[in-house]
A and B are shown apart, each in its own frame.
Chain A
Amino acid sequence: MEDVIPQVVFYLFGLPITNTVVSTWIMMIIIIILVILIRKFKPDAGEMIVEFIENMISSVMPADANPAKYMTVLGTMAIFLILANILSIIPFLVSPTANINTTIALALIIFFSVHFYGIKEKGLVGYLRDFANPIFMLPLEIVSQLSRTLSLSIRLFGNILSTDLIVAIVFSLIPFIVPLPLAALGMLTGVLQAYIFTVLSSLYIGSAIEIEQNEKERQILKREIAEAS
């Protein structure tokens, strides 16, 4: 069981450094090398990846939103998560997302960027007015904001940890060939969870920047009146 629970490797200035942090560093090096290689030898592949992520985001955003604005957060999240979730197939490395601190940090980034983009798009007053449109929905809205952050982090952590745990248990029973299909299933789950995390984050950002239909009509009406007078 010691394979799946994060272990302290060494102490840096009194801070405990677990093995998931070390594998995050290794993954950062892998990402940087991949980016340099793709830029140098195959720029088309990089374009294809960016377009794929942009299509994924724009499929759940409101129709008039520009997905390229949110690529900085969501694209980074998608690339990081796809690599992080399948990192445990490399021997001696664990997935960084098998530690609950990593996933909670990622979910908090999404939590703050939802409000940041909402305020940037609508202004502070407009965002607060749209936040709970009938005012008695305010407590429910606050609870849903908090619980979606919790569920976003725990879903990712639980899925990655459970597949790693299954592989570890089967490996301790039969260490030859038999864990391979389960590791493949773990890779599939990891890619799917990365997709789901990105799509849900863009759904939340999309719901924060969405302007209600009657609100839009009122703005158009106001502009027409201003032009006429």
Chain B
Amino acid sequence: MWQLESETLIIIITTLGAIIGIVIGTIAPAIMEGIAVKKALDGIARQPDAANDLRTTLLISMALLESTAIYVLLVILVLLFANPLLNRFF
């Protein structure tokens, strides 16, 4: 087995965690946003008069859905650029 320093091990584990986290964290909001846009477009196609109301609601809900992906990005940026574990142990 390889002999790794614990600092290297922590860097490897955080990088892996960041990759897995950003993949899962962007898939879920992307699917939900797709569903929201699909439903809103259905509504606009069925009833073009309601397009303005639907657009405002769609933009607000898209922002709320998008923010979950932004939270994931923020956690991962902290892990990559300002890792708290590295400062604590070394």
- Could you tell me which A residues sit within 8 Å of B by CB distance? 1, 5, 59-60, 151, 154-155, 157-159, 161-162, 165, 192-193, 195-196, 199-200, 203
Contacts and interface: CB of A to CB of B under 8 A. Distances in A.
Interface of B: 52, 56, 59-60, 63, 66-67, 70-71, 73-74, 77, 81
B67 A199 contact: no
B59 A155 contact: no
Contacts of B56: 59-60, 199
Contacts of B63: 155, 192-193, 196, 200
Contact of B71 (A1, A154, A193): A154
17 contacts: A59-B52, A60-B56, A151-B67, A154-B67, A154-B70, A154-B71, A155-B66, A157-B74, A158-B70, A158-B73, A162-B73, A165-B77, A193-B63, A195-B59, A196-B59, A196-B63, A203-B60
Tell me whether chain B's interface is mostly helix, strand or loop, or mixed: helix
Nearest to A199: B60
Tell me whether chain A's interface is mostly helix, strand or loop, or mixed: helix
A158 B81 contact: no
B70 A192 contact: no
Contacts of A60: 56, 60
A2 B64 CA distance: 29
A172 B63 CA distance: 29
Contacts of B70: 154-155, 158-159, 162
